[in-house]
Homo-oligomer: A and B are copies of this chain.
Amino acid sequence: MTEPLHNQEALVRSEFLQGLSAQDREAILRAAQLRPVARDTFLLRQGDPADRVYLLAQGRLRLSTITPDGQEVIIRYVAPGEGFGVAAALKDITYPVSIEAVENSLVIGWDRATFAELMERYPRLAMDAMRTLAFRMREMQDRVRELQTERVERRIARALLRLVQQTGRKVETGVLLDLPLTRQDLAEMTGTTLYTVSRVLSQWEQAGLVESGRERVLIRSPHGLVSIAEDLPPRSTPER
Interface size (A, Cβ < 8 Å)? 40
Report the copy number of this chain in the oligomer: 2
Residues of B within 8 A of A88 (CB): 134
Residues of B within 8 A of A79 (CB): none
**B133 touching A231 by the CB < 8 A rule?**
no
Which of A26-34, A145-153, A219-227 contacts its partner?
A145-153
Chain A residues 180-205 with CB under 8 Å of chain B are: 188, 190-191
Secondary structure class of chain A's binding surface, majority of residues: helix
Residues of B within 8 A of A123 (CB): 120
Residues of B within 8 A of A69 (CB): 231, 240
Query: Quick one: closest B residue to A239, CB to CB?
Result: B69
Query: Quick one: closest B residue to A143, CB to CB?
Result: B144
A71 within 8 A of B: yes
- 0/1 interface trace, chain A 153-193, chain B, CB 8 Å (1 if under): 00000000000000000000000000000000000101100
A68–B133 Cα distance when bound, in Å, is 26
| Residue among B135, B136, B145 making CB contact with A65, cutoff 8 Å | B145
Q: How far is the CB of A78 from chain B (nearest CB, A)?
A: 14
A134–B130 Cα distance when bound, in Å, is 9
Query: Quick one: closest B residue to A120, CB to CB?
Result: B123
**B141 touching A96 by the CB < 8 A rule?**
yes
A138–B86 Cα distance when bound, in Å, is 11
Residues of B within 8 A of A90 (CB): 130-131, 134
The CB with the most chain B CB atoms within 10 A, among A65, A75, A91, is that of A91
- 8 A-B pairs in the complex with CB atoms less than 8 angstroms apart: A75-B141, A87-B138, A91-B131, A91-B134, A91-B138, A133-B134, A140-B140, A147-B148
A binding-site residues for B, Cβ under 8 Å: 65, 67-69, 71, 73, 75, 86-88, 90-92, 96-97, 120, 123, 126, 129-131, 133-138, 140-141, 143-145, 147-149, 188, 190-191, 231, 240
